[in-house]
Amino acid sequence: MSRSQISPRLMTKQEAAAYCAVTPSRFYQLVKAKTLPGPVPGTTRYDRVAIDRALDKHAGLQSDAELSPLQEWLAKDGNRAA
């Protein structure tokens, strides 16, 4: 498999916004409202899997009981500024 076929797990804000089909400013609003997770602590990159889980939860497709302890922490405390 070539590198161009591998989807990166961590994305810039612009890439994450495009992934969510919103503008970067709308993406920022969703992060600020804690609808979407903030960047991975200590970085400026957004985790694709965390975004998918947040969208699933927001759409009612996943309950909190299905989250691992790390996912719960990221959902609650991952939005803090690094």
Number of domains in the chain: 1
Query: pLDDT value at position 2?
Result: 60
17 is a domain residue: yes
Query: pLDDT value at position 79?
Result: 59
64 is a domain residue: yes
Q: Which residues lie below 8 Å from residue 22, measured CB to CB, with a gap of 6+?
A: 30
- Classify the C-alpha dihedral 53-59-62-68 as positive or negative: positive
**Residue 48 is part of which domain span?**
8-77
2 is a domain residue: no
What tens-digit pLDDT sequence spans the chain (82 residues)? 566 688 899 999 999 999 999 999 999 999 999 999 999 999 999 999 999 999 999 888 865 566 677 777 777 776 555 4
Phi, psi of 34 (to 5 degrees): 65, 20
